[in-house]
Chains A and B, each alone.
Chain A
Amino acid sequence: MSEKAFLQIKDLSVQYTSDHQTIHAVNGTSLRLERGETLGLVGETGAGKTTIAKTILRILPDKAAKVAGGEIWFDGQELLGLKEEEMRKIRGNRISMIFQDPMTALNPTMVVGYQIQEAILLHNSCTREEAKTRAGDMLEKVGIPRERYDDYPHQFSGGMKQRVVIAMALACNPELLLADEPTTALDVTIQAQVLEMMSGLKKEFQTAMVMITHDLGIVAEVCDKVAVCYAGVIVESGTAEEIFDHPAHPYTVGLFGSLPDMTGTRNRLTPINGMMPDPTELPSGCYFAGRCPHATAACRSVRPEMKHLGGTHDCRCIVKGGEQ
């Protein structure tokens, strides 16, 4: 695969330092995404999903975080090597991000309309009036009446606040949208409204999207491709059909086994034993070996490579890889 994808992450590693400890958050992650596609980045707390998104946008905390290696190619440009002023033209304009908690993503002292207008003014040469009109248009697009332009965040409910955050992220018509658990803080009926709206907007604007989530139901619903992240590495990737119909990696299989079945009767869940390894002391072999029912001695000493299973389906496991 020499030809570059629209977004291509190659062998990315990110580390945090705190109290003289090195936390290995992302450990050699590679991803590809084409225009108009939605990639579901799935994994548990601490798997490094959010760190990957923040690295793409280059908004990691300066002092604590360090990109230890890798490249991020976006539409033919390498982002990690860009000067900050060049990055600023991309951030919020060509790539934008929706954060998990709408309350912390909005400024409580500013009216919501202005917060949308701000992004438009920054990246476009237009007058204040034009920007204001466009901000009003965006509000309407996400289903909030234009009249609420001058309301403050606390005057909105959780679902509406998240719509404002989405309007902000889409204001400059980004080519790539990073959505970090955009509906986790919302109730299911509101989540359904927001997901429906997002897929509508995505179609309209042909936006590529990275959907970060721990909810496999959401992935099944909105994503074309899936990458399963464990302890900072992608352990399995492929199209949604490939992953949901033929999960190969024991971790992916374990994730599905942990979900209560909505259709069947009250069967016992088959959870994954134990927990994720400490990111300050990662084991030498496969990171999942300690919890894996199929682990062999080789798994504990050799770090598995990504194996190609056919189609676009890849799996990082020496035991379960080639069974299909």
Chain B
Amino acid sequence: MSEILRVEHLKKYFDTPAGPLHAVDDVSFTIKAGSTLGVVGESGCGKTTLGRVVLQLQDKTDGKIIFDGQDVSSVDKKGWRALRDDMQIIFQDPMSSLDPRMSVREIIEEPLKLQRKLNKEERITRVKELMDTVGIAERFENAYPHELDGGRRQRIGIARALALNPKFIVCDEPVSALDVSIQAQVLNLLMDLQDELKLSYLFITHDLSVVKYISDEIVVMYLGQIVERASSAELFASPMHPYTQALLSAIPVPDVHAKKDRIILEGEITSPVNPRPGCRLAARCKYATEVCKNPQTPEEVAPGHYVSCCRAHEIRQ
């Protein structure tokens, strides 16, 4: 399978009065065409910033983004327009990402208008097609976002993202605002669309059960860095990084007979402003020793399974 996206040593720092905030710090990964990479982590770990920088909605501080064989920083403004058609995003909160003064049809039509490839009639046909694809009845064509429920609103966000036939979509917590029964409908839709249209997803979420369900491969982020990367099955079967282990053990399991040997992390995420070199989890990690103060590099512990923890082997035993 070919690569759709390759990210190398990507960095995004924000200036704050207290110093540079390392939102994304030296992150590298690849996504194979037609597959889903899940990005999981807690609030403030930089996962949303990562998605936005990959799409160049925010400028990167350093690093390389190669989309479909093209280095995006070498592309001029005109080339970007074409690239943008192929890279889309679905936002978390459909209420704040849809213009309240535009009807459903206008919202889905807008990207087509900007692209200027289709005439009015063709656009209307395409909008109908898209509404059908995401399962919104035609009678909602003239409705406004506030008249619809959360599930339908998110379907409109998906239709808008699909309008230009993209190859790659960043899904930024697309189901977090939805109830479980509706969440399941939208997740199924996203997976059907992937099969049908050969889409690749960067799927950002804090919900581990969702990420496991939808992803082929998963990266776990903590304070701007990737601490572990593996296939979905491998990560859940044998998590190696102490943070991944704590994260997985913290999920409440809907089974009254489940055993609960939970790893509770002490304290909370520390500040990403001017972090010290070395492992960023060390202050909360029960395995931390002096060696953890050195910078951590990813190590391949099994084929395709990378862990950034110098004590991963000892912990395993």
**A255 contacts B213, CB within 8 Å?**
no
The verdict on B6 contacting chain A, using a C-beta distance below 8 Å, is no
Report the minimal beta-carbon distance from A188 to chain B, rounded to whole angstroms: 4
Alpha-carbon separation in the docked complex, A197 to B54 (Å): 39
The verdict on B312 contacting chain A, using a C-beta distance below 8 Å, is no
Closest chain B residue to A218, Cβ basis: B252
Q: Which residues in chain B, 243-301, are within 8 Å of chain A measured between CB atoms?
A: 246-247, 249-256, 258, 260, 262, 264-265, 268-269
Taken residue by residue from 228 to 250, chain A's Cβ proximity to chain B (1 for < 8 Å, 0 otherwise) reads as 00000000000011001100000
**B256 contacts A241, CB within 8 Å?**
yes
The verdict on B140 contacting chain A, using a C-beta distance below 8 Å, is no
User: Please, which residues of chain A bring their CB within 8 A of the CB of B210?
Assistant: 260
User: Please, which residues of chain A bring their CB within 8 A of the CB of B180?
Assistant: 44, 214, 255, 258-259
Alpha-carbon separation in the docked complex, A143 to B265 (Å): 14
Q: Which of A97-105, A128-136, A261-269 contacts B (4 or more CB under 8 A)?
A: A261-269
The verdict on A275 contacting chain B, using a C-beta distance below 8 Å, is yes
If over half of A's interface residues share one DSSP class (helix, strand or loop), that class is named, otherwise mixed; here it is helix
Report the minimal beta-carbon distance from A192 to chain B, rounded to whole angstroms: 4
Report the minimal beta-carbon distance from B45 to chain A, rounded to whole angstroms: 9
The verdict on B187 contacting chain A, using a C-beta distance below 8 Å, is yes
**A216 contacts B254, CB within 8 Å?**
yes
Alpha-carbon separation in the docked complex, A258 to B181 (Å): 5
Report the minimal beta-carbon distance from A33 to chain B, rounded to whole angstroms: 18
User: Please, which residues of chain A bring their CB within 8 A of the CB of B236?
Assistant: 262
Taken residue by residue from 174 to 192, chain B's Cβ proximity to chain A (1 for < 8 Å, 0 otherwise) reads as 0000011111110110010
The verdict on A215 contacting chain B, using a C-beta distance below 8 Å, is yes
**B181 contacts A44, CB within 8 Å?**
yes
The verdict on B212 contacting chain A, using a C-beta distance below 8 Å, is yes
The verdict on A220 contacting chain B, using a C-beta distance below 8 Å, is yes
**B256 contacts A245, CB within 8 Å?**
yes
Alpha-carbon separation in the docked complex, A265 to B216 (Å): 11
Across the interface, B252 reaches (CB within 8 A) one of A195, A240, A268, namely: A195
Report the minimal beta-carbon distance from B141 to chain A, rounded to whole angstroms: 19
Across the interface, A217 reaches (CB within 8 A) one of B181, B184, B185, B254, namely: B254
**B254 contacts A189, CB within 8 Å?**
no
The verdict on A151 contacting chain B, using a C-beta distance below 8 Å, is no
Q: Which residues in chain A, 68-115, are within 8 Å of chain B measured between CB atoms?
A: none
Alpha-carbon separation in the docked complex, A193 to B43 (Å): 16
The verdict on A305 contacting chain B, using a C-beta distance below 8 Å, is no
User: Please, which residues of chain A bring their CB within 8 A of the CB of B260?
Assistant: 221
Report the minimal beta-carbon distance from A290 to chain B, rounded to whole angstroms: 13
Report the minimal beta-carbon distance from A313 to chain B, rounded to whole angstroms: 14
The verdict on B209 contacting chain A, using a C-beta distance below 8 Å, is yes
The verdict on A192 contacting B262 (CB below 8 Å), with A256-B254, A271-B181 known, is: yes
**A188 contacts B184, CB within 8 Å?**
no
Closest chain B residue to A195, Cβ basis: B252
Taken residue by residue from 175 to 193, chain A's Cβ proximity to chain B (1 for < 8 Å, 0 otherwise) reads as 0000000000001111111
User: Please, which residues of chain B bring their CB within 8 A of the CB of A269?
Assistant: 184, 187-188, 213
User: Please, which residues of chain A bring their CB within 8 A of the CB of B262?
Assistant: 192, 196
**B181 contacts A188, CB within 8 Å?**
no
Q: Which residues in chain B, 197-219, are within 8 Å of chain A measured between CB atoms?
A: 206, 208-210, 212-213
User: Please, which residues of chain A bring their CB within 8 A of the CB of B187?
Assistant: 260, 269
**B185 contacts A187, CB within 8 Å?**
no
User: Please, which residues of chain B bring their CB within 8 A of the CB of A221?
Assistant: 252-253, 260
**A271 contacts B184, CB within 8 Å?**
yes
The verdict on A172 contacting chain B, using a C-beta distance below 8 Å, is no
**A188 contacts B247, CB within 8 Å?**
yes
**A217 contacts B251, CB within 8 Å?**
yes
The verdict on B42 contacting chain A, using a C-beta distance below 8 Å, is yes
Closest chain B residue to A222, Cβ basis: B252
The verdict on A272 contacting chain B, using a C-beta distance below 8 Å, is yes
**B209 contacts A272, CB within 8 Å?**
no
The verdict on A258 contacting B232 (CB below 8 Å), with A188-B42, A188-B206 known, is: no
The verdict on B143 contacting chain A, using a C-beta distance below 8 Å, is no
Closest chain B residue to A217, Cβ basis: B252
Alpha-carbon separation in the docked complex, A216 to B184 (Å): 15
**B252 contacts A215, CB within 8 Å?**
yes
The verdict on B151 contacting chain A, using a C-beta distance below 8 Å, is yes
Binding site for A on B (CB under 8 A): 42-43, 149-151, 179-185, 187-188, 191, 206, 208-210, 212-213, 232-233, 236, 246-247, 249-256, 258, 260, 262, 264-265, 268-269
The 9 closest A-B pairs by CB, nearest first: A217-B252, A271-B184, A260-B213, A258-B184, A187-B42, A216-B254, A192-B250, A44-B179, A269-B184
| Other contacts beyond A159-B268, A191-B250: 20, CB < 8 A | A44-B180, A187-B42, A187-B206, A188-B42, A188-B206, A189-B265, A191-B252, A192-B249, A192-B250, A196-B264, A215-B252, A218-B252, A221-B253, A256-B254, A258-B183, A259-B209, A262-B208, A262-B236, A262-B251, A271-B182
